[in-house]
Amino acid sequence: MHLFILAAAALLGLSAAQHNPHTKHGRTAMVHLFEWRWADIAAECERFLAPSGYAGVQISPPHENIVINSPWRPWWERYQPTSYNLCSRSGNEHELRDMISRCNNVGVNIYVDAVVNHMCGASGGEGSHSVCGSWFSANRKEFPTIPFTHWDFNDHKCRTGSGNIENYGDADQVRDCRLVGLLDLAMEKDYVRGKVADYLNKLIDMGVAGFRVDACKHMWPGDLSAVYGRMHNLNTTWFSGGSRPFVFQEVIDLGGEPITSREYFHLGRVTEFKYGAKLGTIFRKWNGEKLSYTKSWGEGWGFMPEGNALVFVDNHDNQRGHGAGGASIVTFWDPKLHKMAVAYMLAHPYGVARVMSSFRWDRHFVNGKDQNDWMGPPSHGNGVTKPVPINSDQTCGDGWVCEHRWRQIKNMAVFRNVVNGQPHANWWDNQSNQVAFGRGNRGFIVFNNDDWNLDVTLNTGMPGGAYCDVISGQKDGGGCTGKLIQVGGDGRAHFKISNRDEDTFVAIHAESKL
């Protein structure tokens, strides 16, 4: 009996550890630097992310991938591995290693986007058209650099006519058939598990803190469990002994399919896609949704248990119509709404939060579908990804959007750190789209998403004093470049937000006190 309890506790302890992002210095939020070069990420960790209090970076897949020239170098070619060599449009192995070390040295964790469900598309042809020239044959299912041969793929198990997933209502085909024609690895094989684990372990040993695991819905939880079980502990140069890699699994579960997020909870965190889809609907005021309904935001909205969730407003798929979430998703293309939605997420205690950092592309809608949803990152004529230039006002140039640098978002990442561990408190709403809430006595935020002014006195729960609103400005030396908020000795403060303000929300926290 005692033995059983011990064994159960050990098991729980092990898997619970894969839910921990191992962030440092009280930092909390990660940013997805989508398609950035390793050299730029290294510089960004040192010059911006660490000083601004960001906890980590999700990087684009570092493995070698197929080169697709039609359409011209789509971003999604990186989701088609041709070898596990660490060589991609973002840089080579040396540059990757340098980035991981430099980010770790300033306390910013690196989380790798791991694409291990499949290799390239079945129509990928044969030759050396990989980013760094590794030969492969999609026709014969041969990837000699690893090596994988046709024995290592699932096609014999798949029972659909096309060999592709045809019906998400059938869990077997979702796991055993090809996702959009991508060659599906047979992860029940010990050999395949070993090769995948070797790839992850190489990255762990280099110092990464964990993984976003791509397309988990398409892998059996038991197979993933076996692979995760082979993962090394994190590198003790930067992490305490016995630390398990942080795992967050991409499972799109909006309800209505047999495969649910729940099947993956014991293995690590899971992406909560309902979060951004609902938040977008609320801020857009679609379907009669109101911000005041978010009083019970989180589990009260039918989201997964708090300790399992990885949350985001938009991701690299649904900001351009891929994946799931639809038109409600709020992206940088709607900056005013995007800033509010991201601020709401960062102010709210639910889940581990991820901020999206995007590149621009030429959107071109025909019948509601963006014809240019494939467009890759800003790049030179020869296909080389452009560096991220930093303008004198701290924004980015050359098509890099850098949402994470926008003052309102950057300051809310700090807000999240300052209020970390404090309970959701002092809720107020006008039964429409004006709401406010605090985090213990450490921070308070007020939103006006109605078409009229907000003018109200609220209990903030904060100690009395003068605070600088970190949305319209920020503390600057002894002063404040934004609105000043006076909190009385009773914790009450007066807020005025015109619906025509550039940003229709206000946030104060313990460290924005003057």
Among 100, 252, 279, 340, binds ligand AAO (CB under 6 A): 252
The piece of 302-310, 320-328, 330-338, 409-417 that touches ligand AAO (CB under 6 A) is 320-328
* Backbone φ, ψ for residue 507 (5° rounding): -140, 135
Footprint of ligand AAO on residues 164-193 (CB under 6 A)?
168, 179-182
With contacts defined by CB under 6 A, how many residues of the chain interact with ligand AAO?
A: 24
Task: Select the residue interacting with ligand AAO from 322, 336, 386, 492 (CB under 6 A).
Answer: 322
Determine the Cα–Cα distance for residues 320 and 337; give it in Å rounded to an integer.
17
69 binds ligand AAO (CB under 6 A): no
- Binding to ligand AAO by residue 250, rule CB under 6 A? yes
- The total of other beta-carbon atoms located within 10 Å of residue 202's CB is 15
**Part in contact with ligand AAO (CB under 6 A); list of ranges 152-160, 213-221, 477-485, 488-496:** 213-221
401 close to 359: Cβ distance less than 8 angstroms: yes
CB-nearer residue toward ligand AAO: 135 or 168? 168
145 neighbors 84 (Cβ within 8 angstroms): yes
Token pair 């020869």 in the structure block, residue: 382
Q: What is the helix (H) or strand (E) element at residue 10, kind and residue range?
A: helix 2-17
Residues 271-310, one symbol each (x = binds ligand AAO by CB under 6 A, - = not), give ----------------------------------------
115 binds ligand AAO (CB under 6 A): yes
Selected binder of ligand AAO within 10, 11, 71, 123 (CB under 6 A) = 123
Strands 30-33 and 56-59, bridge-based pairing: parallel
- Identify which of residues 10 and 254 has a Cβ nearer to ligand AAO in the complex: 254
The token pair at 204 is 């762990």
Degrees (nearest 5) of the Cα angle 28, 33, 36?
150
Q: Applying CB under 6 A, which of residues 93, 155, 257, 398 lies at the interface with ligand AAO?
A: 257
Burial class (CB in 10 A: 0-12, 13-18, 19+), 13: exposed
Torsion 317-319-321-327 (CA) sign: positive
Question: Smallest distance from the beta carbon of 34 to ligand AAO, in angstroms?
Answer: 10
Q: Which is nearer to ligand AAO, 179 or 196 (CB)?
A: 179
DSSP bridge partners of 329: none
By the rule CB under 6 A, 323 interacts with ligand AAO: yes
Which residue's CB is nearer to ligand AAO, number 60 or number 448?
A: 60
The piece of 1-9, 76-84, 143-151, 401-409 that touches ligand AAO (CB under 6 A) is: 76-84
Please state, in angstroms and rounded to a whole number, the distance separating the CA atoms of residues 405 and 377.
18
In the list 53, 121, 280, 378, the residue contacting ligand AAO (rule: CB under 6 A) is 121
Cα separation, 445 vs 347, whole angstroms:
7
How many whole angstroms separate alpha carbon 292 and alpha carbon 428?
8
Q: Give the nearest distance from C-beta 118 to ligand AAO in angstroms.
A: 7
* 438 is a contact residue toward ligand AAO (CB under 6 A): no
Count of C-beta atoms within a 10 Å radius of residue 179: 19
Alpha carbons 170 and 387: distance in angstroms, whole number = 44
**Nearer CB in complex with ligand AAO: 142/373:** 373
479 Cβ partners below 8 Å, 6+ apart?
A: 514
Q: Which two tokens stand for residue 140?
A: 């014969």
Active-site annotation, residues = 214, 250
Query: Residues interacting with ligand AAO, by CB under 6 A?
Result: 76-77, 79-80, 115, 121, 123, 168, 179-182, 214-215, 217, 250, 252, 254, 257, 317, 322-324, 326
